Structure 1
């Protein structure tokens, strides 16, 4: 395992010859820049992945909300806001991005906006009342997520232009792998902080450091040598929606992908409820939160060697295995409610976070690789924007899950998630492989 991880890391950082020849399905003039672009892309991914983990809505922001004393219902809107406002604006920006010959600067600008949002969260947490601070943070998260969604469309397009098919999953895995190393190190550093979980200062330092990481990520993405592409075919949001609906009606495989991806939201939106449940079952200190960060970082490390390789051969299986792991993690968390021995419960909950982090990484990598491999390059932005906007609508509705947690408690919320994960497993089994998604028409 260690040798495999070392080989994967050095392969990207040194410009492994196999990766240098990863020119399938990209412009011929881009082939000579593959090695450089892989390094710049990995640098971007390492910084952005670490920033997402140390100041993201899945773990650290729920902890911040607990410290501030924000209402419980707000927890349920953290990841739905992140998901929906990352996805819904994409229908608007996809057509505009088409008009740009070089699209990397869209990601760069979006990264700087995300940096600014994190910096503004610091005075909001310091100066406002609990409810006002919570609302302010949610509003900043709306802007942050909209910038993230814009960057996502640009990233998919730049990835398709600069990295050949068959190597994209490996690249995404390498980004997660190095991000996992840095996240694990950050978690161990946080674990050395003394005090209880109500200390605000460590969280504010995390927000500031994450803002710097977004600036670094923007710099790295700006270093990608992108070949100018076609600027024709740009459409407005209505035209994009009409085109996307046409694809949805025409291809049953695309419909099955969207159904499965919608159900996979149960994996991507679950972490804040695990944080709430862990807080209910354990008396968390700062060191304990640091160990949860370590668990998530470790999950990225162990996921990278096989998720990336599996995604390049069958991204559908990546999504299927990921939701199966998430269901197992949820079932384990529910079992912990009947375990009286605290050390065992604590250790088992660290395993829960490793598993849910592993599942979340797999879902993200699998769905990204699936869509990039399944659709033609000239329509990639439209497919991405339509699918993301559709899932964004579902994510908005999922914000009501916070009310379930407030009324019935985190345990019943996990029960609901587990049932939906079982349905998601079935949906992934019915989904075609990426290469055959567009083979059947109606």
Structure 2
């Protein structure tokens, strides 16, 4: 086969393709468009990830709500709402998606809605303040989260239909790595602007820019060549949702995956507590926001391609290794902060810890996303994604109470508590079967 198109040449180089292209687990027609779709998905995801970074509830939105004097109790809700709001309705959303032969348009609609909701948050930031601003941002964040749920289910299914198995992990790895470069630049810029006194106008314009990333992501995603896939009839949404929940009871491997994934939430849930710990001990200097964004981007650049390649061989091993790193880090930080006062006040300690946590969290995300996509195909994959995300959404709401407990429990104590659960999660992941098929070529 003559490779005259640069996308084919670059695709073959990145995935070590030599003669015949591997098209495991996808349609023969889709195989012909794999290189083009590979880079369209990558570029679209890069844009959306940059938008996510510049409107991250753990950093930027918390900062913005503080600037507009929103009530503190509302600020504590933004992370659980943003995460669980996109997961809880997915089991019902999946019922609608299953009726569509082409599912990329579901992602496009969801991405446009995310753009509009984040843009509205920018206007709220500019023109309102206090409780009015706080409640408005919460309501818009709910719209954003529901729209994000549309994209989550649809994107995994489109990925499974257009990109061969043992190429998906690398795609995610390259995407996160390139996104990390852009996040790095954003972190440098925010650090630079903080020195000259960044105000509400600056942060609202940052949010406007983030919103535009989702619009561009939708435009790029619309160009993906997706062929019709299997569908199911339009049953009652809730009835069908309850029927799909039965796979948790009947499918042992899937049930064990959900248990393991629940325990792996430690890598995500501990992140804001590292930031809080640094603020409590080092102070709330403006440069800290840019610094944490910067080291998190650097962690993605360095680790994502490695995690991606490892995930194509054994995604369960990636989850085990990354969970151990995140959990061990939390235990070490608890010991240092509690019993080593000299290091407790070291400025370099917290960015370094956040950098290592970023590496670990990148592995957890890549590992579990690749694992669930490779567990099944067709509508079964859609069921797995929607059911697992719905259950995780409930668990996130429950663990969201940890934020309220910070006032009575030490921040480092919460990190230790979550890290111990992470170690249990690593053990549970080690018991999962390997879903990757070893390439014999």
TM-score for the superposition, normalised by structure 2: 0.89
In terms of mean alpha carbon deviation, does 126-135 or 143-152 score higher?
Answer: 126-135
Structure 1 residues 431 and 29, CA gap change in structure 2 (3 angstroms): same
The corresponding residue for 1:106 is 106
Which digits, 9 at most, give the CA deviation of each residue in 1:227-279, with x for residues without a partner? 12233345443343333333212222111101011112222233222222221
The corresponding residue for 2:93 is 93
The corresponding residue for 1:378 is 379
The corresponding residue for 1:425 is 426
- Aligned partners of 1:330, 1:151: CA distance in 2, in Å? 32
- Aligned partners of 1:271, 1:69: CA distance in 2, in Å? 23
In terms of mean alpha carbon deviation, does 94-103 or 17-26 score higher?
Answer: 17-26
- Aligned partners of 1:80, 1:235: CA distance in 2, in Å? 30
Structure 1 residue 297: Cα displacement: 0.5
Superposed, 1:250-269 pairs within 5 Å as 250-269=250-269
The corresponding residue for 1:18 is 17
State whether residues 22 and 34 of structure 1, in contact with CA within 8 Å, keep that contact through their aligned partners in structure 2. no
State whether residues 111 and 148 of structure 1, in contact with CA within 8 Å, keep that contact through their aligned partners in structure 2. yes
The corresponding residue for 1:155 is 155
State yes or no: 1:167 paired with 2:170.
Answer: no
Which digits, 9 at most, give the CA deviation of each residue in 1:112-138, with x for residues without a partner? 111111111123223434333233222
Structure 2 gaps, min length 5: 1-8
Structure 1 residue 347: Cα displacement: 1.3
Structure 1 residues 364 and 240, CA gap change in structure 2 (3 angstroms): farther
State yes or no: 1:408 paired with 2:409.
Answer: yes
The corresponding residue for 2:59 is 59
**RMSD over equivalenced CA pairs, Å:** 2.5
Structure 1 residue 369: Cα displacement: 0.8
In terms of mean alpha carbon deviation, does 189-198 or 252-261 score higher?
Answer: 189-198
State whether residues 51 and 211 of structure 1, in contact with CA within 8 Å, keep that contact through their aligned partners in structure 2. yes
- Aligned partners of 2:14, 2:222: CA distance in 1, in Å? 19
State whether residues 197 and 289 of structure 1, in contact with CA within 8 Å, keep that contact through their aligned partners in structure 2. no
Structure 1 residues 254 and 230, CA gap change in structure 2 (3 angstroms): closer
In terms of mean alpha carbon deviation, does 97-106 or 329-338 score higher?
Answer: 329-338
The corresponding residue for 2:312 is 312
Structure 1 residue 169: Cα displacement: 0.6
- Aligned partners of 2:87, 2:375: CA distance in 1, in Å? 19
SS in 1 for 2:387: helix
State whether residues 274 and 350 of structure 2, in contact with CA within 8 Å, keep that contact through their aligned partners in structure 1. no
The corresponding residue for 2:274 is 274
Structure 1 residue 333: Cα displacement: 3.8
- Aligned partners of 1:240, 1:354: CA distance in 2, in Å? 42
Structure 1 residue 195: Cα displacement: 3.6
Structure 1 residue 419: Cα displacement: 2.7
Which digits, 9 at most, give the CA deviation of each residue in 1:182-201, with x for residues without a partner? 11111112221144887333
SS in 1 for 2:46: helix
State whether residues 48 and 213 of structure 1, in contact with CA within 8 Å, keep that contact through their aligned partners in structure 2. yes
In terms of mean alpha carbon deviation, does 392-401 or 420-429 score higher?
Answer: 420-429
Structure 1 residues 190 and 241, CA gap change in structure 2 (3 angstroms): same
Superposed, 1:27-426 pairs within 5 Å as 27-195=27-195, 199-334=199-334, 335-336=336-337, 345-426=346-427
Structure 1 residues 13 and 404, CA gap change in structure 2 (3 angstroms): farther
The corresponding residue for 1:6 is none
The corresponding residue for 2:5 is none
Structure 1 residues 284 and 332, CA gap change in structure 2 (3 angstroms): farther
- Aligned partners of 1:331, 1:137: CA distance in 2, in Å? 35
State whether residues 90 and 387 of structure 2, in contact with CA within 8 Å, keep that contact through their aligned partners in structure 1. yes
TM-score for the superposition, normalised by structure 1: 0.89
- Aligned partners of 2:47, 2:71: CA distance in 1, in Å? 31
Structure 1 gaps, min length 5: 1-9, 437-442
- Aligned partners of 1:21, 1:116: CA distance in 2, in Å? 40
Structure 1 residue 298: Cα displacement: 0.6
Structure 1 residues 257 and 371, CA gap change in structure 2 (3 angstroms): same
